[in-house]
Structure 1
Amino acid sequence: MVAYNFQPEFAGPIEAGLKRSTIRPNGKRRHARAGEELQLYTGLRTRSSRLLLRVPCERSVPIEIHAKGVWADGVFKTNPAYYTTLAQIEGFANFGNLQAWFDRRYGLPVCDMTQIVWDPAQALSGPETADPGAS
């Protein structure tokens, strides 16, 4: 099991199944690998901590975000549809918004990152799998 914490702005899109990926810096701890359980939270380590979703990791790939594009899994992506899809599954309206968010947070270029992808339809628990009789 690998836990990831999300800013409150991403909680709704995760619960709605719109945000299906996260891009995180590489560091001391390794990221989830395909098949491992992800636990997605907001407010982790606070009194307002809330589990958003438990779901298997579909895949994780190295990724870099540059002013002129994206390197993912060792390949510079040139297909405009890739950029649209990447922005959407990351919870952004478009690729420009995604780039701006990462530029504010980390400064472009954003290198040595991993993209962790999940399929909300495979959820182990979360809003869409919760027991309506539970309180």
Structure 2
Amino acid sequence: MVAYSFKKQFGPPILAGTKAQTIRAERAGRSRHARPGELVQLYTGMRTRQCRRLGEAQCVEVLPIKMDLIVGLVVAGDGWIREPGDLHAFAQRDGFPDWWELVAFWTAEHPGVDLFKGVLIRWQPLAPADALDIAGAA
């Protein structure tokens, strides 16, 4: 099982099931990313006192990804995204309101990295908390 840590701002969209992917750099050495079919553990603040376990989900897809933040292009697997509406939808699946917010976040977190190559990990979305107590609603 592979664990992923997220900034606190991504906790609510992960718990709501609206963020079900993450973009990560390749891992080196013995460390590896999840593989399709494996469970992933999702946290905020891992390795801190504020660590919070958000849940577990099944990894459904791992794709190589390239993002060109200057041009506005995402290549994931064999597909590519360039249209503004599609870029916004991609960014929303990653927990951002739109593509420009993803670019602003990326620029702040990774100064000088305008062209990124890594992996896109997707998991089965977590069920929203209010959907978990279906039996109690009767």
Question: 1:32/1:110 Cα in 2 relative to 1: closer, same or farther (>3 Å)?
Answer: farther
Match of 1:98 among 97, 102, 122: 102
SS at match of 1:120: coil
**5+ long unaligned stretches in structure 2:** 134-138
The structural deviation recorded for 1:73 is 1.4
The structural deviation recorded for 1:117 is 0.6
Deviates more, 1:64-73 or 1:85-94: 64-73
Q: Deviations over 1:53-78 (max 9, x none)?
A: 20000101111211111122154433
On the 8 A contact 2:67/2:117 being kept in 1, the answer is no
The structural deviation recorded for 1:22 is 0.6
Is 1:26 the counterpart of 2:30? The answer is no
TM-score (norm 2): 0.80
SS at match of 2:103: helix
What is the identity, as a one-letter code, of the residue corresponding to 2:37? G
CA distance in 2, matches of 1:109, 1:9: 23
CA distance in 2, matches of 1:57, 1:105: 25
Once the two structures are superposed, the pairs formed by residues 14-93 of structure 1 within 5 Å of their partners are 14-28=14-28, 29-66=31-68, 67-68=70-71, 69-93=73-97
SS at match of 2:60: strand
TM-score (norm 1): 0.81
The structural deviation recorded for 1:103 is 1.8
CA distance in 1, matches of 2:14, 2:22: 10
CA distance in 2, matches of 1:39, 1:110: 28
Q: Give the count of matched residue pairs.
A: 129
What is the identity, as a one-letter code, of the residue corresponding to 2:32? R
